[in-house]
Structure 1
Amino acid sequence: MSLPSIRSLSTSTSPPTSTSPFTPTIHPIFESSTGTWQYIVACPSTHRAAIIDPVLDYDRATQTVSPTTALALLEQVSRAGYTVEMILESHVHADHLTAAFFLQNRLARAQGGLRPPIGIGKRVEQVQRQFGRRYSIGDDEYVGVFDRLFDDNEIFAIGDLRGEVMHLPGHTPDHLGYKFGDDVFCGDSLFHPDIGTARCDFPGGSSEALFRSGRRLLALPGHVRIWTGHDYPPADGARPAVPWTSVAEHRAQNKHLMDGISQQDFVALRSARDASMAAPKLLHPSLQINIRAGRMPSPTDKGDRLLHLPMKGGDLV
């Protein structure tokens, strides 16, 4: 498979390779324009794999969608000889477009018709209804688009790997983490310790809930690795290019959730931070595409695929 130039893409220099059939081999791929960590998580004994939180590229200036980042994921899958059994979303993202549907179709062709289901938390339906109404999207464009709606604490398999679903609300109400052995993919709940945690000011978000979710993660054994969904490295590049931090390090260093910070302290810190933050740059296209699991809007009779863009001051005459 030939790839276009990928200047914005980098990978961790040494992705963990498992020697145990019950510990995943992990390939992290960083998409720098949205600061997103995507993951390929593979069973070493069967070469069956899952893809977590994949990104579809969107150029705001030209309103162009392209699959450069997703093609890089497919290149890694092909190079490693994996069969992708599932595409996992941690939540409905508000800062990037998901590549889940694109990857599902490409993989079905590459895997002889084996079409990996797209999984997400069962509470996604309330998020879909909310944003479907906000953007005047018909039910037929988002109802039933996800193939698997996970229950809290549900167990599933990728090859011989045992996956566990962790409901981690706070950033969004549908938010999940995925645990494989001593590795947890926490989506947008925890970031690196010097950043802290995700914002809670989206509809359905809750700083109280995120505090409880964070405490659930930090109650895991100290050696467990927490793989984040985003990173915003400092301009000097001082932080190592790895997407995980141990539970013990978070307990000692996480600026929002380290040991000794109370729920009251956390809510005050998080609320002050959220009040100062601008909306994500790709908020409106992301939500409209992601409640569709990455499908594009239905075309008009002219062949255009349109998104809604809220305007302020629209009552001017």
Structure 2
Amino acid sequence: MSESATGAAGRDEIWIEKYRPETLADVVGHENIVGRLESYVAQNDLPHLLFSGPAGVGKTTSSMAIAREVYGDDWRENFLELNASDERGIDVVRDRIKDFARTSFGGYDYRIIFLDEADALTSDAQSALRRTMEQFANNTRFILSCNYSSQIIDPIQSRCAVFRFGPLAEEAVGEYIRRVAENEGIEVTDDGVDALVYAADGDMRKALNGLQAAATMEGAVDDEAVYGITATARPEEIEAMVERALDGDFTAARAKLDDLLTDAGLGGGDVIDQLHRSAWDFDLDDAATVRLLERVGETDYRITQGANERLQLEALLAALALEAE
């Protein structure tokens, strides 16, 4: 995220936009990727690009930064942003993308089309996109963004320089949170920063949204405020629930689960996500951790198929408790 996007503009702004980097040099956490992208821009030799990775790690930000550096103040007129999850059919490729690619561009070698969530395009739309990339290769550059590059057909991947964005490091997220808090005049404790980093799980947007929401409460932003506002369970609460199940005490484990779902307001998917993230951090032996992950994977699959969340989570705890007997 940005190292230079500062200035008091009021807390009514959305911070994920207020602090969005405007240049590639401002993007933190992906130094190797940024270096290669800067060399493309400096040489005015931009290929088609494919950015893959989880949400909130800088894919869209890097694309917009490239446009700003290539076109300056004219970047909006020469940069078309589309979301493929909303407009995923072949007609979008045939109409909107082709119309933009055909139009004139004043004084620039090419225009940029940014297609977000490109893995949501249908196979027919991707095939049409491949042909469009060939047809307008002389005056158009495509930047495709996706969560899973495996969902992009090989003919498109082979036409792009592929960059894989991983989750942002905890140090990068924590440092940026402190910088934003200082700029906004917010007191944030070390425990509060650690809680925001944990809740974000490498997603800078989630970290900034959590900070902005917690900052509306009275007093310093501490871990209690963060966990409450982000509907995230403390790691020790998840650990206590699992340890009770592994000790064979299903009743106590079920009571902890009820606290998480009812009092903390977590959803079944949130519990599964935190279980998976924290499994190797628990004070469990390898065999217990393997059993836990096996059950977590099975439960996650059943929930995604539409099964009752509470019932499946209780079944997970029951299975762990039975194995302990």
* Length-normalised TM-score, structure 1: 0.28
User: Where is the helix percentage greater, Structure 1 or Structure 2?
Assistant: 2
* Length-normalised TM-score, structure 2: 0.28
User: Where is the strand percentage greater, Structure 1 or Structure 2?
Assistant: 1
